[in-house]
Structure 1
């Protein structure tokens, strides 16, 4: 079944991981590094998007609610409705820290910061 933007509702995680992520200005800001799943709710908790580093140094990892990523065929990547400044000010940590304690803290921070209705309520 297609989404509102005409995309199918199913995608394999292996296809999403590594996909470039762009801001609304069409500038590449990073890529999907991982996808964190909620095993008990059968939902995607968040995508881990890495950006800001150079040659693997200084990269930051951001938990972004999956609903904020919209695949754009022309860009061959995901577009998020945030400016670079908004993203850089958002919650960020190592992937290990983002997934610590089942990722609940990172999920709460991400959904709150990006003002996305939580799927778990």
Structure 2
């Protein structure tokens, strides 16, 4: 069974198998069987992912994860920020990568991005002193479209809206 195959059947004998399809839109995929002591790979501290290498679909080292961006209102992971081409922590281009475009490779301890190195070089980027407004839905939609992903706020809308504990009433801005 190919762990990266989004339509691979669920192994009924695997206690770690998820009933959520790999491309369900809920989060990043996980490949490999790297299960160790402590948390992970299903639940991890965001700080443990900072500095992880990101590999392209054509095997090129793209850079490292420098930040994990959260949608605070919904509690969803929105983007991983890829630092490309930095030298000794200076310079380099930053790219917001939709979380669902990444696969955590537990065996190689890196992320796999389903885009080639050339595609990432032509991706919209920014520098450390001029971040885009990541809450801007038009900006976010263009980033998700570039990586051929449905925007995270659309992909998980049914999950969030079906749970009254996570919904926010815009009229009162309080949790129900």
Q: Smaller-chain TM-score range?
A: 0.7 to 0.9
Q: In the alignment, does 2:118 pair up with 1:85?
A: yes
Q: Which structure has greater strand proportion?
A: 1
Q: In the alignment, does 2:141 pair up with 1:114?
A: no
Q: Which structure has greater helix proportion?
A: 1
Asked if the contact 2:54–2:62 (Cα under 8 Å) also holds between the matched residues in 1, the reply is yes
Distance in 2, Cα, partners of 1:101 & 1:68 = 17
Query: How far is the alpha carbon of 1:45 from its aligned partner?
Result: 1.3
Superposition TM-score, scaled by structure 1 size:
0.83
Change (3 A) 1:101 1:19: closer
Asked if the contact 2:70–2:77 (Cα under 8 Å) also holds between the matched residues in 1, the reply is yes
Q: How many residues align?
A: 121
1:35 aligns to what?
Answer: 68
Structural mapping, 1:54-65, within 5 Å: 54-65=87-98
Query: How far is the alpha carbon of 1:114 from its aligned partner?
Result: 0.6
1:74 aligns to what?
Answer: 107
SS of 1:98 mapped into structure 2: coil
Question: Relative contact order (alpha carbons < 8 A, sep ≥ 6): 1 or 2 greater?
Answer: 1
Distance in 2, Cα, partners of 1:44 & 1:99 = 17
Unmatched runs of 5 consecutive residues or more in structure 1:
none
SS of 2:66 mapped into structure 1: strand
Superposition TM-score, scaled by structure 2 size:
0.59
Unmatched runs of 5 consecutive residues or more in structure 2:
1-15, 23-29, 34-40, 155-176
Distance in 2, Cα, partners of 1:18 & 1:113 = 24
1:24 aligns to what?
Answer: 57
Moved more, 68-77 or 81-90: 68-77
Distance in 2, Cα, partners of 1:27 & 1:71 = 16
Change (3 A) 1:85 1:56: same
Moved more, 33-42 or 94-103: 94-103
Q: In the alignment, does 2:64 pair up with 1:11?
A: no
Distance in 2, Cα, partners of 1:99 & 1:69 = 21
CA RMSD of aligned residues (A): 2.4
